[in-house]
């Protein structure tokens, strides 16, 4: 089983992105869970979401405490939330940031995990004209770092979830982040 924790802020699409990945896994014959963890937060408050993907039925029904990957949609969140808590040894930390992942790895004291960064905000602004597709960009970066699902499955899910024009732009965002993600 592969477990992902999504960290970001309310309004950034944490719930949507966790579900998009889960749906793509299901399309490929895998088992998946996708769910958020939040209270009565307002837009901009830190929130967490989770995705589990497995080749076998998933019988656990709790938060993800030992993620294989942590995806951070807002690089200010690590200042108020310890996003690396529980990250497995040899896990992956992906951050929406203009900063080099080597810097981020040192700053967040990530010793036994790989660190990745991509400027998801700029990609979304360039392609969509706003920052509403940060989540899709980070999904592209995650799938580049770990082959959880195919790009084809993600394309099909995006086309089903969004209207034609928005789906095409989200697919472009996904593919651009897939190309631009940097690993340390």
pLDDT in tens, 88-144: 999 999 999 999 999 999 999 998 999 999 999 999 999 999 999 999 999 999 999
**Average confidence (pLDDT) over 147-153:** 97
Q: What is the pLDDT of residue 1?
A: 98
41, pLDDT greater than 90: no
Q: What is the pLDDT of residue 38?
A: 72
Global pTM value: 0.96
pLDDT in tens, 7-32: 999 999 999 999 999 999 999 999 99
CA neighbor of 170 nearest in space, from 20, 36, 33: 20
Q: What is the pLDDT of residue 113?
A: 96
- Give me the helix-helix angle, 151-161 and 134-145, nearest 10°: 160
**Average confidence (pLDDT) over 80-88:** 96
Alpha helix stretches (DSSP H) within the chain: 14-27, 101-107, 120-128, 134-145, 151-161, 164-180
Q: Which domains does the chain have, with CATH numbers?
A: 2-183 (3.40.920.10)
Q: What is the pLDDT of residue 141?
A: 98
């Amino acid at each position: 089983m592969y477990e992902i924790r999504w960290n970001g802020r309310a309004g950034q699409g944490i719930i949507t992105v966790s579900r998009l990945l889960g749906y793509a896994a299901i399309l490929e014959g895998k088992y998946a869970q996708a769910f958020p963890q939040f209270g009565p937060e307002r837009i901009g408050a830190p929130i967490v979401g989770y995705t589990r993907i497995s080749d076998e039925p998933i019988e656990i029904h709790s938060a993800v405490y030992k993620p294989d990957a942590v995806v951070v949609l807002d690089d200010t969140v690590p200042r108020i939330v310890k996003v690396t808590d529980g990250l497995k040894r040899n896990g992956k930390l992906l951050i929406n940031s203009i900063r080099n992942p080597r810097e981020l790895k040192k700053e967040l004291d990530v010793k036994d995990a790989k660190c990745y960064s991509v400027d998801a905000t700029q990609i979304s602004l360039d392609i969509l004209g706003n920052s509403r597709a940060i989540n899709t960009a980070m999904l592209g970066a995650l799938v580049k770092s770990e082959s959880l699902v195919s790009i084809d499955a993600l394309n099909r899910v995006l086309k089903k979830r969004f209207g034609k024009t928005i789906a095409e732009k989200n697919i472009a965002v996904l593919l651009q982040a897939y190309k631009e993600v940097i690993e340390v």
